[in-house]
Structure formats: structure tokens, C-alpha cells
């Protein structure tokens, strides 16, 4: 998605959640500075995704039930939001790409990179301290932002780690995108991060993620499926009886 097309949606998000464009932009510049010598060539990310079937995996309650489903579909590229990294690794599933704004478990984020995952790190106005602390610990990074792109920091569209993963997979040319563990009507996660969560704020963010995923469906060149509990317009529901073949229900 071009920035000029994305910016009106960002403005809606900014107004709804009270974010500062200036702070978001400053965070993008900070990330750009820190990854100047460790920025990954975007073609490597594209090579991992282009023309392939992709799982976009979130940390919703249904993830636990779908571990076997993920294991059975070994050829799918696993694009994982940071909250889902820990349970996947705990179940001996290697993430191929991790999309994170660094509020997940740092131990497992670093372990994912050691296992070969491409780290896609997002900068926004509320995570500058985490960027300063954690980004230097990664070997190679693809940077993202929700405002104006800067050197080595891209804007693929999307808001939360989960829906931003789908936008990125689309941008990188995925053949198909399957949403797993993306329960956007449930504020709970199977693997809490240990910090207190504002339930109302969480649900508002998930509602916005759903809106954006439905927007993506209208312009996507990928075949879209949904294995999660929340119905999302434009994504074919995966029939659990035929989930290995990802057939329409």
C-alpha cells in the first residue's frame, strides 16, 4: 500500500486513540538510526514470502487449538506477531518472520531470530525505550512505521502486529494468506505477557484491526482464508474437517 493511500486510515487511528504524529515520526527516525548498519535488504523478506502460502499467526485464544493445524501445513510460511512467538517455539514450530513492536517476550524474540526468523520491528511513539534497549540486540532488522517512511523503515499499512503482518504479506506478494489465532472479538490471549492490559483499549484496537483486514480484502491479490474464531469479511472460513487442504466451508 502506498503511503498516500494509507495516511487517511492512519489519521483515523490517530484521532481515535490520541496518538501523536510527531512522536510516531520521531520513533521512525530513531529506528532508522539504530538499524543503519543492520538493516536487511527488503528483497530477502520478499523472497521468503513471494508466491508462497502464508500463515499470519496471532496470539488469540484459538491458537492453542490450531497448533496441530499449523504443524500439518508445514510448507506454509509462518508470519508471527510477537505475542504468538513464545507458544509456537514452545511447541517446536519455527517462525519464518516475526512482526513485533517489542512488547512481546524479548527472550523468545531473540530466540526466534537465532532459529532463522526475519525480524520486522515496528516503531511508534510509545515504544522508543524498547527500541533503544532491544534493537541493538538483533543482528538484522526490517524496520516499519505507521507514518512517513524513512531510510530503511517502511510502511506496509496496518495497525496492530497481526493485521500489519497481513498487510506486509500482501505487499511482499503472498500467494495466499491464512489468518490463524486472530480472534479479533476477544481481548484475551492464550499467553499473557505478564503486564496489565486495558480491556477496553484492547478491544478497540482489535476492532480497528478487523476493519483494516476487511479493507485489505477489497484490494488484495492474495487468496484469503480465516482459521480464527472471528468472522472477517473477504476471508473464506477454513472448514476444520478439511483444514489441511484449506478448503472453503
Is residue 234 predicted with pLDDT exceeding 50? yes
Whether residue 248 is contained in a domain is answered as no
Is residue 195 predicted with pLDDT exceeding 80? no
The strand order across the sheet containing 53-57 reads 153-154, 142-145, 118-123, 97-100, 77-81, 53-57, 176-180, 223-226, 236-237
Is residue 17 predicted with pLDDT exceeding 70? yes
Is residue 189 predicted with pLDDT exceeding 70? no
Q: What local confidence, expressed as pLDDT, does residue 235 receive?
A: 98
Q: What local confidence, expressed as pLDDT, does residue 194 receive?
A: 45
How do residues 132-170 score in pLDDT, each as one tens digit? 999 999 999 999 999 999 999 999 999 999 999 999 999
Can you tell me the distance from the alpha carbon of 123 to that of 143, in angstroms, rounded to the nearest whole number?
Answer: 7
* Residue 186 binned pLDDT confidence (cut-offs 50, 70, 90): confident
Is residue 193 predicted with pLDDT exceeding 80? no
Is residue 196 predicted with pLDDT exceeding 80? no
Q: What local confidence, expressed as pLDDT, does residue 197 receive?
A: 62
Q: What local confidence, expressed as pLDDT, does residue 200 receive?
A: 87
All three cell numbers of 59:
496470539
Residue 88 in 3-state DSSP? helix
> Could you give the dihedral angle defined by the CA atoms of residues 89, 94, 97 and 103, in that order, rounded to the nearest 10 degrees?
10
Mean pLDDT, all residues of the chain: 92
Rg from Cα positions in the chain? 17
pTM for this prediction = 0.94
Query: Residue 135: CB partners within 8 Å, gap ≥ 6?
Result: 31, 34, 35, 102, 121, 141
Q: What local confidence, expressed as pLDDT, does residue 1 receive?
A: 86
How do residues 117-135 score in pLDDT, each as one tens digit? 999 999 999 999 999 999 9
CA-to-CA separations, 234 to 130, 223, 225, in angstroms, rounded: 35, 10, 8
Return the closest-CA partner of residue 73 out of 57, 85, 62, 87. Answer: 57
Residue 95 in 3-state DSSP? coil
Number of domains the chain is built from: 1
CA-to-CA separations, 172 to 49, 51, 168, in angstroms, rounded: 6, 9, 6
CATH number, domain containing residue 144: 3.90.1480
Whether residue 246 is contained in a domain is answered as no
Whether residue 155 is contained in a domain is answered as yes
Whether residue 14 is contained in a domain is answered as yes
Can you tell me the distance from the alpha carbon of 24 to that of 19, in angstroms, rounded to the nearest whole number?
Answer: 8
Whether residue 56 is contained in a domain is answered as yes
Q: What local confidence, expressed as pLDDT, does residue 248 receive?
A: 39
Whether residue 244 is contained in a domain is answered as no
8 A C-beta contact, residue 154 and residue 142? yes
What is the residue range of 145's domain? 3-239
Is residue 198 predicted with pLDDT exceeding 60? yes
Is residue 101 predicted with pLDDT exceeding 70? yes
Whether residue 249 is contained in a domain is answered as no
* Residue 190 binned pLDDT confidence (cut-offs 50, 70, 90): low
More confident position, 234 or 104: 234
Average pLDDT, integer, range 212-239: 96
Amino acid at each position: 500500500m502506498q503511503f498516500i493511500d494509507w495516511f487517511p486510515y492512519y489519521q483515523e487511528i490517530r484521532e481515535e486513540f490520541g496518538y501523536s504524529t510527531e512522536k510516531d515520526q520521531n520513533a521512525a527516525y530513531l529506528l532508522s538510526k539504530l538499524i543503519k548498519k543492520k538493516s536487511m535488504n527488503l528483497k530477502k523478506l520478499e523472497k521468503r514470502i513471494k508466491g508462497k502460502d502464508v500463515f499470519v499467526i496471532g496470539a488469540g485464544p484459538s491458537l492453542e487449538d490450531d497448533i496441530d493445524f499449523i504443524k500439518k501445513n508445514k510448507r506454509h510460511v509462518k508470519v508471527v506477531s510477537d505475542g504468538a512467538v513464545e507458544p509456537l517455539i514452545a511447541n517446536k514450530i519455527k517462525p519464518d518472520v516475526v512482526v513485533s513492536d517489542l512488547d512481546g517476550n524479548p527472550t523468545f524474540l531473540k530466540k526466534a531470530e537465532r532459529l532463522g526468523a526475519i525480524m520486522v520491528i515496528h516503531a511508534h511513539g510509545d515504544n522508543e525505550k524498547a527500541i533503544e534497549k532491544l534493537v541493538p540486540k538483533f543482528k538484522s532488522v526490517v524496520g516499519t512505521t505507521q507514518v512517513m517512511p524513512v531510510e530503511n523503515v517502511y510502511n506496509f499499512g496496518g495497525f496492530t502486529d497481526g493485521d500489519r503482518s497481513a498487510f506486509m504479506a500482501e505487499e511482499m506478494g503472498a500467494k495466499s494468506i491464512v489468518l490463524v489465532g486472530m480472534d479479533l472479538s476477544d481481548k484475551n490471549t492464550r499467553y499473557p505477557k505478564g503486564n496489565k492490559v486495558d480491556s477496553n483499549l484492547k478491544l478497540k484496537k482489535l476492532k480497528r484491526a478487523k476493519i483494516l483486514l476487511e479493507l485489505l480484502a477489497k484490494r488484495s491479490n492474495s487468496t484469503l482464508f480465516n482459521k480464527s474464531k472471528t468472522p472477517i469479511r473477504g476471508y473464506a472460513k477454513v472448514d476444520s474437517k478439511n483444514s489441511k487442504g484449506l478448503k472453503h466451508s
